[in-house]
Amino acid sequence: MITQAGGLSSSKEVVRLRRLVLPFILAFGFQLMLMGVLGQPVRGDAPQIPASSVRCVNPGGTGGCYASIQAAINAASYGDLINVAAGVYHERISMKNGVSVHGQGWLSTTIHGDYSAAQPTVNISGVSASTVLSGVQITGGGNGTLTGDGGGIAIQYASPSIVNTSVYSCTAGWGGGVFVFGGAPSFNNVLVWNNRARYGGGLYLDFAVVNMTGDFKDFNGTIWFNSATYDGGGILMQGVTATLTGLRVWWNSADDGGGVSIKGSSRRAALTLNDISGNSAKSEGGGLSIYDAGQLEIIGNLIRENTATYGGGGAVFGDAAGLFQWNIVNGNRAGSSGGGVLLFSASPGLTLGGNWFEANSAGQGGGLYLQTGAAPRVEANTIVSNTASLGGGFFLQQAGPAMIVNNIVARNVATAPLATGGIQIHESPARIINNTLAENKNDGVWFTAAGGVVVVNNIIYGHPGDGIERYNDTASYTVGYNDLFGNGRAYVGLPPGAHDLALNPQFVAVGPDLGAYYHIQATSPVSATGEVAWAPPLDIDGEVRNSDGKVSMGADELPVYPVYLPLIWRKF
């Protein structure tokens, strides 16, 4: 029965969930959209740089040209442009402020450090944004000992533009491919691959303002096959303000944070429209590892087929705040917990909104695992076809009062006998409000030692096990205004809640055809039958609830103008 009442605060982060850019992004594909919209130059294109003088370099030093790039740089003045002919230049260079070096594309022009010392092939210090390096391949940095700062490029207190450049097969202690400390460098269509370091196999970014973009043409903006002994196989960011857009972070590996690792930063870290796939972590965070980060904007990314030996196949969060929104989290695996996402000690300022979790797997929490005080807002997500031994969709272990609102949790599988496929709760006062739980194997909602747990305004449909099961050691709980239909048993360990229903909710579609994703028909008996005091202001589609003093059960509210908008656009 209802034992307490209250209301949910408005979530500004998800007000426009279905009315902004995501439907178009997902419907037409990340890559096609980015290729047309970002419109960056391709590998060998020269940036438009006003030059006081144009100098030339070729391997033979013929025709009035220099034989080495460094000799040309030494002779150049602010505003000069140096054109480097195709060929391999066996040297290490140091850039000069205001001098731009342009090769003929990274397939043609190579700067090779010959692995002769634990130093970078290209050193850039104290220069301004008028300094450009473009159209070259950089290799041979470091000497394989995993020491020093930056194997391919080292940038210190500098703000150069690195354009259409490849950095490969370099080594360092920090930043096998690229090391950045201080300044505000930008990277446009830079390929970083097959580099190694102790920290930041591909890139190590520290105490800087960094902008990185790619356009998904050829291998532009691809960070792949890099490895780190410890953190950040692809990219490690510490204390940076960073914007990463249109990158492919593929097949990198580390102990923690196989793809991208963000550590200890209250600055803004924005990852938008990236493909983070196939990365691996020996510990946690196959795709993303995020700790002590206070201004996250992780929006519209594809996070797929990453693996972690322990937790967070797709991503792990600890003491993090900000947005994880409109991402596709698909096919990730964790050996222990959180196939899609693992959260622990997460601040209430973290919102997971409008994401798609599908086909992720773990020992516990196939889709999401919340642990040790984690209390994020989990709102308007679609969580389908995930698998775990316990908690196919969700698993909460000693988590805080997480707000789990407006989600569709359907067709998830718990493989252990009599386990919960939907939401399994241990010692966590979670708020389970206005969700649609359908056809999970075995139970819908199960809780134990979860004093203060709330289960209100939900549709719990078609579970072969139990609809709601309370283990007898939970003394205080709030259960009511739920529709339980087609379950093996509706209630176990508790009486029916006040105003509960046992009626077919009349979904638009159910079963293996997920095209309609468990929205309700106009004739649904759960329409206008929920508890207003607990209901959120919007539904899973961003449509207003309580427009006439009534709300529906489940994630979907019938619109004021009843036009069904299928969620197939969210399927990749």
Residues 532, 549 contacting (CB under 8 angstroms): yes
In a domain, 26, yes or no: no
In a domain, 177, yes or no: yes
Q: What is the pTM of this model?
A: 0.90
Per-residue CA distances from 139 to 108, 163, 234, 415, 519 (Å): 13, 16, 17, 48, 54
How far is Cα 123 from Cα 206, in angstroms, rounded to an integer? 16
Contacts of 29 (CB under 8 A, 6+ apart): none
The residue with tokens 């097959």 is: 194
- Strand boundaries in 332-412, DSSP class E: 333-334, 341-344, 350-353, 356-358, 361-364, 368-371, 377-379, 382-384, 387-390, 394-397, 403-405, 408-410
In a domain, 416, yes or no: no
Contacts of 268 (CB under 8 A, 6+ apart): 241, 242, 243, 295, 297
In a domain, 353, yes or no: no
The residue with tokens 């006062």 is: 429
Tell me if residue 89 falls in helix, strand or coil: strand
Residues 524, 505 contacting (CB under 8 angstroms): yes
Helix (H) or strand (E) holding 444: strand 443-448
Which of 164, 237, 244 has its CA nearest to residue 199? Answer: 237
How far is Cα 252 from Cα 247, in angstroms, rounded to an integer? 13
CATH number where 102 lies: 2.160.20
- Token pair, residue 227, equals 């490895």
In a domain, 154, yes or no: yes
Structure confidence at residue 189 (pLDDT): 97
DSSP secondary structure, 223-290, as one string: EES-EESSB-SSEEEES-EEEEES-EEES-EEEE-SSEEEEEEEEEEEEES-EEES-EEEEE-SSEEE
pLDDT averaged over consecutive 10-residue blocks of the chain (572 residues)?
34 33 38 34 41 89 97 97 98 98 97 96 97 98 95 98 98 98 98 98 97 92 98 96 97 98 88 98 98 94 98 96 97 98 88 97 98 95 97 96 97 94 96 97 96 97 97 92 98 96 92 76 95 95 90 90 39 36
Number of domains making up the chain: 1
Residues 159, 128 contacting (CB under 8 angstroms): yes
Q: What is the DSSP letter of 568?
A: G
How far is Cα 376 from Cα 374, in angstroms, rounded to an integer? 6
How far is Cα 528 from Cα 525, in angstroms, rounded to an integer? 8
In a domain, 422, yes or no: no
Helix (H) or strand (E) holding 70: helix 69-75
Structure confidence at residue 218 (pLDDT): 87
Residue type, 169: S
Residue length of the chain: 572
In a domain, 435, yes or no: no
Which of 272, 325, 324 has its CA nearest to residue 293? Answer: 324
The residue with tokens 């594809």 is: 302
Instruction: Look up the domain containing 89 and give its range.
Output: 45-284
Structure confidence at residue 51 (pLDDT): 56
- Environment class of residue 194 by beta-carbon count within 10 Å: exposed (0-12), middle (13-18) or buried (19+)? middle
- Token pair, residue 241, equals 């303000």
Structure confidence at residue 6 (pLDDT): 32
In a domain, 235, yes or no: yes
